[in-house]
Structure 1
Amino acid sequence: MSRIIDYPCKPLSHLPHPREVIRQFTPNWFAATMGTGILSLALPAAYPALYGLGEALWLLNIGLFVLFSVLYAARWWLFFDEARRVFGHSTVSMFFGTIPMGLATLINGLLVFGVARWGEAVVPLAQALWWLDVAMALACGVLIPFMMFTRQEHSIDQMTAVWLLPVVAAEVAAVSGGQLAPHLADVHGQFSVLITSYVLWAFSVPVAFGILTILMLRMALHKLPHANMAASSWLALGPISTGALGMMLLGGEAPEIFAAVGLPGAGDVAAGIGLIAGITLWGFGLWWLLLAVLITLRYLRSGIPFNLGWWGFTFPLGVYALTTLKLGAVLNLTFFTNAGCLLVVALAGMWLIVMNRTLRGAYRGELFVSPCIAGACT
């Protein structure tokens, strides 16, 4: 009697050649560094006993970011003509914003874990990386919308929340600036970072909210996007939460920094505005969180195909969790603290699911797909 043996899937079995990993590599992969990075920061914020696990995830995230950077740089070196087509793609090009946002989580981790392990000597490195992150975020926030207006084809019925990705990178850098400023020894350096961070916040948040307005109209007129974009419903939570967290962090540092440069009144005003903005935006985020849950449950009826877009479930939820924990610490209200801890548990569970599916998909080669190679963009 013959026997049927089910051999495990060979690595990269869906690719004709391992070199295709480089040829098919897209910026979408950096969304994994965003999700992993936010979990590394959220775990010790909610559960101090898990500080070591958070640090381990941060180190893992450094490895992922370096690996993805090497692979994507290699694609531009080896397949330049195909790589440059990304600028004409109406969806993949949006994911350029995930690169500076992923880097921002590494910078924040350097301030949380690196300073504790190696001392203040790592602060100049964090500062240099932050300015690099600022430059990348500003470039994404202007150049990608410019290409939307001049090169790419868009329609309101095909719009999704991925439009937010290049824009939100600036406010993520603003949050990092709020964490970096108190570590700087020079008062003028602190002031420069603080003011730059406020500019970054204003550079991003109003534009993001404009996109959210259009998004709500699009969903009312044309209903939910295809199941392949199911996770995009969570992306809207990102700029709302990051905007709230940024205002609270910057407002918390503003009184001391403004006073040091002779503007004590401005610092007190900034602190008050930061707290009120944080509370009100958190409430807006709660509305979108509940809506995203309902939308996801609707998608689950017919099944959601896995793709790298699933990382969109993680980063927005993580930032909202950190915002909730920050409100709990500032207001001394256990409701926010307990809610933040529960959100971090949900984040950890989602990260485990998405990372497991990502590793399996990468092992088989299923996730290495560049739409531009098929001629979808020019």
Structure 2
Amino acid sequence: MALSPRSFPRPLSRLTASRELVRQFTPNWFTATMGTGILALALNQLPVALPGVRAVASGLWLFDIVLFVLFSILYTARWVFFFDGARRIFRHSVMSMFLGAIPMGLATIINGFLAFGPAVFGDAAVPIAHGLWWLDAGLSVGSGLCIPFLMFTSQEHSIEKMTAVWLLPVVAAEVAAASAAQLVPHLVDPQAALRMLVLGYALWAFSVPLALSILVVLVLRLILHKLPHKDMAASGWLALGPIGTGALGLLLLGQDAPSTFAAVGLPAIGIVAQGIGVIGGTVLWGYGVWWLVLAMMVTARYLRDGMPFNIGWWGFTFPLGVYAVATLALARQTHLASLADVGIALVGLLVLLWGIVFSRTILGAWRGDLFFAPCLMSNVAPIGNDLLAEADVA
């Protein structure tokens, strides 16, 4: 049997340990940048003035950049030095889904350049964000097309083994759409602003309908085959991601629409788009309530039965974060104080979950338990078996 993270020979020499870390490094680590980045952005959106919160949020964003650069170096090194092992990810039915985490982690950094960047990088912040956005959009579209194509052609899948992890590659495009909406007000040229707005709506449509279709199948899978294995416990929160990001994208794009369309002589379209944003965002927000409460109930069930820690626990953070930010955006546009209170409570829950997951990740990374690439295993056991399975890192 291939070595599990609990069975690496110890003590390892520093060089051997470093090579093994690189060989075992997988893109699910980028979910940590997603969770850290969205926490920074959510704290910055709080409608109450708390001393030091802005500084903490900015610090988290800078830390997020450090994490993303570090993970990018490690993952690039894996492709350079362990190419044969790295390319096996494309045939792995779980780990390949996490390739979508790379553009989503980058999107939080792009949004941070707009929120915190001017204070740190000055006037260069917006051009940096603009340039990175094009890279992010390309990665998102590639993820949303290529990974499903591999699912259709070369990977082994079944309804019984399906989880919300299937959402990761397709959701990246709607995250890029929400980032596009935040770039629009910073573009001086009316045509450039209109192009970015239209691309934002196109990326939203590229992702959200497909993600909602996957959620329908996921409900059927849960009815027929019950809850996934406990190692996949956090994946239930991933369903909240496309709903929260979809709502946020509509709200932010609709907010930009009146001024952007008016600048090119189409004011009526902008007013309609703004209304669609509020109504559509509200509908998706209400749909998200069902998934949020369900995720809490399912998590309570898993905690009762025992829920082992793995990198998948970062799935608790980003979906909750985007839903919290969408709630705060909806509160601002509707002027409903009760929604703002809900958003503040969700951000508080996000802070708690991030602290728990981050501390346990640091501990697991120090011990080396979390560095494990299941795509290197020649025979992967199905989820639910006693043997180490795909779910160990998912």
TM bucket (normalised to shorter chain) is: over 0.9
1:327-357 Cα offsets, whole Å, 9 max, x none, are 1111111111111111111000000000001
Tell me by how many angstroms 1:364 deviates.
0.5
Structure 2 equivalent of residue 8 of structure 1: none
Structure 1 equivalent of residue 98 of structure 2: 95
User: Structure 2: how far apart are the matches of 1:357 and 1:294?
Assistant: 22
The DSSP-based 3-state class of the residue aligned with 2:160 is helix
In the alignment, which of 307, 310, 316 is matched to residue 310 of structure 2? 307
> What are the equivalent positions in structure 2 for 1:115-194 lying under 5 Å apart?
115-194=118-197
2:24 alignment partner AA: Q
1:211-253 Cα offsets, whole Å, 9 max, x none, are 0000000000000000000000000000001000000000000
The DSSP-based 3-state class of the residue aligned with 2:371 is coil
Tell me by how many angstroms 1:92 deviates.
0.2
2:228 alignment partner AA: P
> What are the equivalent positions in structure 2 for 1:1-378 lying under 5 Å apart?
17-18=16-17, 19-46=19-46, 47-49=48-50, 50-376=53-379
User: For the Cα contact (< 8 Å) 1:14–1:365, is it kept in 2?
Assistant: no
User: Structure 1: how far apart are the matches of 2:124 and 2:74?
Assistant: 30
User: For the Cα contact (< 8 Å) 1:12–1:362, is it kept in 2?
Assistant: no
When structure 1 is superposed on structure 2, of 45-54 and 303-312 the one drifting more is 45-54
Tell me by how many angstroms 1:185 deviates.
1.3
1:146-183 Cα offsets, whole Å, 9 max, x none, are 00000000000000000000000000000000001101
When structure 1 is superposed on structure 2, of 110-119 and 122-131 the one drifting more is 110-119
Equivalences, count: 367
2:251 alignment partner AA: M
User: Structure 1: how far apart are the matches of 2:265 and 2:65?
Assistant: 39
User: Structure 1: how far apart are the matches of 2:12 and 2:318?
Assistant: 29
In 2 relative to 1, CA 15–251 (structure 1 residues): closer, same or farther, beyond 3 Å? farther
In 2 relative to 1, CA 349–15 (structure 1 residues): closer, same or farther, beyond 3 Å? farther
Tell me by how many angstroms 1:13 deviates.
5.3
User: For the Cα contact (< 8 Å) 1:12–1:365, is it kept in 2?
Assistant: no
Tell me by how many angstroms 1:376 deviates.
4.2
TM-score of the two chains, using structure 1 as the length reference? 0.95
1:77 alignment partner AA: V
The DSSP-based 3-state class of the residue aligned with 2:116 is helix
In 2 relative to 1, CA 15–24 (structure 1 residues): closer, same or farther, beyond 3 Å? farther
User: Structure 2: how far apart are the matches of 1:347 and 1:161?
Assistant: 20
In 2 relative to 1, CA 12–101 (structure 1 residues): closer, same or farther, beyond 3 Å? farther
User: Structure 1: how far apart are the matches of 2:11 and 2:284?
Assistant: 44
1:252-284 Cα offsets, whole Å, 9 max, x none, are 000110111111111111000000011111000
User: Structure 1: how far apart are the matches of 2:139 and 2:131?
Assistant: 13
User: Structure 1: how far apart are the matches of 2:229 and 2:291?
Assistant: 19
User: Structure 1: how far apart are the matches of 2:87 and 2:290?
Assistant: 39
User: For the Cα contact (< 8 Å) 1:100–1:137, is it kept in 2?
Assistant: yes
Tell me by how many angstroms 1:302 deviates.
1.1
1:310 alignment partner AA: W
User: For the Cα contact (< 8 Å) 1:251–1:274, is it kept in 2?
Assistant: yes
User: Structure 2: how far apart are the matches of 1:142 and 1:322?
Assistant: 27
User: For the Cα contact (< 8 Å) 1:89–1:376, is it kept in 2?
Assistant: no
When structure 1 is superposed on structure 2, of 353-362 and 43-52 the one drifting more is 43-52
Gaps of at least 5 residues in structure 2 are 1-7, 381-394
TM-score of the two chains, using structure 2 as the length reference? 0.91
Tell me by how many angstroms 1:48 deviates.
4.1
